[in-house]
Amino acid sequence: MQRNTLHQSHQRIAPNRITFCRELKGLTKKALAEKIDRSPSCIMQYEAGTRPVPFDVFERLVNIFDVSPEFLTTNAPCIAHDVCHFRANRRVSQVERLKARSYALIISSIYRYLEEQGILFPEQGFVPCSGNLEERDMDTFALRMRQDLGLGLGPIPDMAALLEKIGVRIILLPESCAGLDAFAFWIGGKPCICISYSAASRMQFDYAHEFAHLLLDGETVPGDTMAERRAHRFAAAFLMPSPTFRRDCPHIFRRPLFLSVKQYWHVSIGAALYRARELGIMNERTYLNAIIAQNKAEERKNEPGEFSKPMPTLLGQALDMVAEDITLEEMADALTLTPQTLLSFLQEQMVSATVIQKMGGVCLPEKKKATVLRFYP
């Protein structure tokens, strides 16, 4: 790395980028301070912009964060933490939540870059609810959403495909954020859902749950118990609409019968059982006996009969469209990332090796026509 490039970047350092990178790396102020042989109060002052960052510290930060020097000079985009509707294990720390949020912003910047290259992503195909709906309203609201989206009353085999078709950007969280199930947010007017890689049936429900937050909770305080219960009820009603699910769901628990329900409706057995109790198809005693049977078979967390995972494909398709015109190095330079860091992000988003290989060593053309990315039912 050339010294003059480092010096130029050092003179334009943006304090909030230090915070952004620290959170992206999952570091506390104390942990970062130990890595650069400074005190936590120094880190606090660097991030507040009340204390100049010495050049030797700047060099260390670039290496620790594994970014280009220029990355620390650009004002970071911001998602207010209180508009992220996190679903996570209670043991997940604030540091891990902030890391996931920063990661989501990086992937969002890749989408924004592709838009600048002429990619037109699907338009938003839904309108968030402006009224105050309660948990008891969710069955009716879910049926209305199905009608608005032209889904009918049958199963939704792939929630990821549906969400991407209606303009939701899906971001896969890395393994280092595995304690987080999913969260939803808006950035630049674009709806986004971040989700961990897990069992297909669980991902289906998580997608539907986060879709509910995008629809209903623009101003709701994250973590609100009622909002979470409402989103859960919506997810169940959206994936298992009462008019047809009542017809298909058994009123007694037999494992082969509920495996068939799982395969047909693309939901977990646990979710199907809960919905059956919710709709009165199954009484409380039968439901509890079913849960006990699942626990005895050790199938509550590792259910049998999983189907294909509902995985996002939008980002990979968009990159494939520009792969012969844009090199990985050019893209990394535009995003002020190192090529290796960008490669890691793309691999975590399940972008195929073929697409990544196409991005090696091809010059960007002088003029680019807008490319429309379309989805068909």
**Domain at 48, CATH number:** 1.10.260.40
Q: Is residue 289 part of a domain?
A: no
Q: Is residue 300 part of a domain?
A: no
- Give Cα separations from 308 to 200, 204, 266 (angstroms): 6, 10, 9
When pLDDT is averaged across residues 242-249 and rounded to a whole number, the result is 96
Give me the pLDDT at residue 224, please. 75
Domain boundaries, position 10:
3-76
Q: Is residue 291 part of a domain?
A: no
Give the whole-angstrom CA distance, residue 135 versus residue 324: 49
Token pair, residue 268, equals 């977990």
Helix 269-278, helix 225-239: angle, nearest 10:
100
Q: Is the pTM of this model over 0.85?
A: yes
Q: Is residue 118 part of a domain?
A: no
Give the whole-angstrom CA distance, residue 214 versus residue 184: 7
Q: Is residue 208 part of a domain?
A: no
Average pLDDT, the chain: 88
Give the whole-angstrom CA distance, residue 195 versus residue 301: 18
pLDDT in tens, 112-158: 999 999 999 999 999 998 778 999 999 999 999 999 999 999 999 99
Residues 6+ apart with CB under 8 A from 230: 133, 134, 135, 138, 212, 216
Helix, strand, or coil here: 309? coil
Q: Is residue 278 part of a domain?
A: no
pLDDT in tens, 13-29: 999 999 999 999 999 99
Q: Is residue 26 part of a domain?
A: yes
Look at residues 76, 95, 125 and tell me which one is the last residue of a structural domain.
76
Look at residues 76, 96, 128 and tell me which one is the last residue of a structural domain.
76
Helix, strand, or coil here: 120? strand
Tell me which residue of 100, 146, 155 sits closest to 126, measured CA to CA: 146
Number of domains in the chain: 2
Look at residues 76, 103, 136 and tell me which one is the last residue of a structural domain.
76
pLDDT in tens, 1-16: 456 678 788 888 999 9
Give me the pLDDT at residue 222, please. 61
Q: Is the pLDDT of residue 374 over 60?
A: no
Q: Is residue 136 part of a domain?
A: no
CB distance 19 to 75 below 8 Å: no
